Every structure is written in C-alpha cells, then in structure tokens.
Amino acid sequence: MKKTFAEKSRNKTFLGMFAVMSATSILFNGCNRKNDKKESDRLIPQKLPVAKAIPKIDDENVASDKRVIYLTFDDGPNQGTKNLLKILNKRNVCATAFIVGKHVYGSRTQKNDFELLKRDPLIELANHSFTHANNKYTDFYKNSQAVVHDFDTAKDSLKLYDKIARTPGRNIWRLNNTTVTDLKSSTEAANKLKEAGYKVIGWDLEWKPGQKMVLKGNHEAMLKKVDSIFFNDLEKTSRHLVFLTHDQYLTDADSINELDLFIEKLQKSNRFVFRKISEYPKINEVLN
C-alpha cells in the first residue's frame, strides 16, 4: 500500500497523487463566490485518504489532507494589476494585495486600479509601506522610526487599519509564533514595526522575474517548488504556504497565461484551499 503525502511517500509527488478533479468540484474554503451550477451538474469528488497530522501549528478548520496557499501580490497598484484581477476572477480564487501608498497616488490609472482592488471581494488589501523605501533599502532600514512612520503614513492614507504589513525588499516575519529576519541590518526596524502593532509577514515561495521583468520559468516549475516545500516541511507554518509575486510582472501574454495555469493546476489537484493572509494561523492574536 502506498503511503500518503504526510508520510513523505517517495513513490509519487504531492501534486500527482490523485486524479485531476473538475474545477467545478473544488472547494475554496470560504474564499470564493457561490457556484450557481445545479447540483446534478457537479461531479462527486472521490474519497481521499486521510493524512496523518503534522506536529506543528495546526489549523482545525482545514481538513488534514489539504494544504493552504495564500496568494499574495506586491507593489500594486501597478502595471499588470488589471490582468491580475482578470486571472483571479476567472479562477474565482482569493488573494492579498500588498499596496504601496505612493503608487496609489502615482497616476489616475493607478488610483482607479486601487479602487478596483478595494471593490473586488476576492481581494484583501495589506500594507507594503508608503514609499517602498524609495528603492534604497539599506538606507531605509537604518532609521527604524522612519520605517514605522512610513508604514503609518500608508496605513492612514489608505485606511489599512488591520496593520498586516510586508516590508519592501526584505523577507521579514514578525508574528507571535514566527520571527525571521533575512538581513540582520533590518532587525531593529522589524522589531519596531512589531512594537507598533504591525503583523509583519514575508513569504515561503516567490515567483521571480527574468531580465525583461516578466515571470521567469513556467507554471510546471513553480508547481514542483510548491510540492517540494510541502514535502520537506519548509513552510514557516506547517501546511500553510505564502506565495509571492508582483503585479508588474503580469504585463505580457506568457506571464499572464503561466500564472493562470499555475492557479488552475493547483485547483484541479483538489489538494489545496486558498485563503487571504488575514486568515493565516495566529496572525490576529495580539502581539506581545
């Protein structure tokens, strides 16, 4: 008898263990709009084996044979924001947009795109600073008080009062259960953000761009990376993976298609649920 994913089977990869399911039968665990199709038109999903519990932070609201993916997109509103919204609405899947305040006020188009993001029920907005460090990250993190002020400015001007934040140019985590700083020179600024009540969240997997600032590689390579992270327990919180890419990489037909296929294949595997970042485990606990 073959082992389940949670038993770290080496016979099959996670994404290939089960037959592909019709997209109409996928459950998104509260993120998606109601399906209007008749009950008789839906396919009945096959009964799946129950995976063993992984001894880390667990989520009783997620079935033990499922994994949670948080789709997050940085630096919006930007070129590609409308394309991102088209993909998410086509696939009926939720995501979190980490907004740069300066970009909202950069042009009329960006301001209009921000309004589109605000009105879309599939989108949650979070704080990615006001200036994005003016792309001078080393200098930015030298002044921890200025960093907090920058995030406060974005919070107040954009009305992002839940204080979920992501640091520009840094993969930093400051939650009650997770503390990670990629570059030590940013430690003091990260700690000051936490002291100010910000819940700072980084990412587990990033889809980076190539030289032409479009998505590098293809969806199949990214699916293998998702598989590898879960297989090797490399996610910050077991069974929960935070995925990152950027609006501005979604300006060409190939990038748009590859992200669309990436999401479609995750859905059809019937092994994942999608959530907004505010539902990340313990993120809403009061910080110490």
Average model confidence (pLDDT) for the chain? Answer: 85
Angle at 224 between CA 228 and CA 122, to 5 degrees: 100
- Residue 185 CA to residue 138 CA, distance in Å, equals 8
- pLDDT at residue number 61: 76
What domains does the chain contain, in order, with CATH numbers?
A: 70-279 (3.20.20.370)
Q: Is the dihedral of CA 77, 174, 224, 14 positive or negative?
A: negative
Residue 229 has pLDDT above 80, yes or no: yes
- pLDDT at residue number 207: 98
- pLDDT at residue number 221: 98
Q: Where are the beta strands (DSSP E) in the chain?
A: 67-76, 95-99, 123-127, 164-165, 172-175, 178-181, 199-200, 205-206, 240-246, 272-274
User: For the whole model, what pTM was predicted?
Assistant: 0.82
- pLDDT at residue number 35: 45
60: confidence class by pLDDT, cuts 50, 70, 90 = low
Q: What's the number of CA atoms in the CB half-sphere (13 Å) around residue 48?
A: 22
Mean pLDDT for 127-139 is 97
Mean pLDDT for 120-127 is 98
- pLDDT at residue number 286: 54
The tokens of 164 are what? 């979920």
- pLDDT at residue number 59: 62
- Residue 75 CA to residue 247 CA, distance in Å, equals 7
**Span of 72-76, 80-84, 165-169, 173-177 with lowest mean pLDDT:** 173-177
- Residue 287 CA to residue 281 CA, distance in Å, equals 13
- Residue 288 CA to residue 285 CA, distance in Å, equals 9
Residue 17 has pLDDT above 60, yes or no: no
Mean pLDDT for 84-101 is 98
C-alpha torsion angle, residues 126, 287, 226, 2 (rounded to 10) = -140
